[in-house]
Structure 1
Amino acid sequence: MKWKTLFLFFLGIAWSTKASVQNDTEIEKELSTVKFFSIGLNGFVAKKMPQQIIYEKVLENTNSVSIFKNVMESHESTPEGKAYSACGLWENKEPEKIKLKDEYGDLNVTILSGDILRQESLGKFIGNIKKHGCK
């Protein structure tokens, strides 16, 4: 009886670890594909945008620093995903990990602020995040 209990216990641990890794991978992929950056209540109806909700899910994750760092460094992530990652690293008090490769600095990040959609250089935008944060 003890062996069955121990087996089930370890099986449960292995299954929950696998599920956690899959969830981290899925949420990292979601963040790395966002198409615009938006913090706060925005749009004509003044609501949180889906991209911000993804960002907040990552921020609440126990592996958030690792996820943000991966998105920041990935050549497949969008400039907006990199911008959210810089914010996440800032919020996690890890500003020294906000490192943007030179090749990404000239990319444009699309920002929704209020009901105005604009573009800015990713390098300049992340430089401002390093100095002032995201709020």
Structure 2
Amino acid sequence: MLKRILSGCAALVVLSSCTTADMMTRYDDMALDVEHSANGTVLIRAFGNGYTPEQAVVDYAMLKAAEVTLAAGQQCFEVVAQGSQMNDVSMAGQFGPMHFDKPSARLRIRILEGATECDSGNADAIVAELRTKVADVSHYLED
């Protein structure tokens, strides 16, 4: 019996040593939906896990928008619509239902073909700023 208690305590110590930063969804691990519409816009959807702050998911969607623009050979885009929310997700657990708040973000952009002056959606500038920001997730946890 004592052996079981000690092994249970050891497991708790190991689990408590994990930080939220280690468990949150990172940009390179995230599955982002990118959907090109017939009206010339691009819809980008990003979803985080229960440890991912909402702002991180918003940044992931914006970074993906810039990457999609550059992949199309263009420099500028405009945001047509955007939004984010926390989604209450329930799932069965060993001791009853578990509830998580999982963030999601939606961003609809229009790539501006041939534009050389960008009012707000300068893809190179956004990639330069956000690629560095999303690489170090610790600052998302400071809020």
- Superposed pair shares fold, TM > 0.5: no
TM-score scaled by length of structure 1 = 0.31
1 or 2 for the larger relative contact order (CA 8 Å, sep ≥6)?
A: 2
**Which is richer in helix?**
1
Larger radius of gyration, structure 1 or 2?
A: 2
**Which is richer in strand?**
2
TM-score scaled by length of structure 2 = 0.30
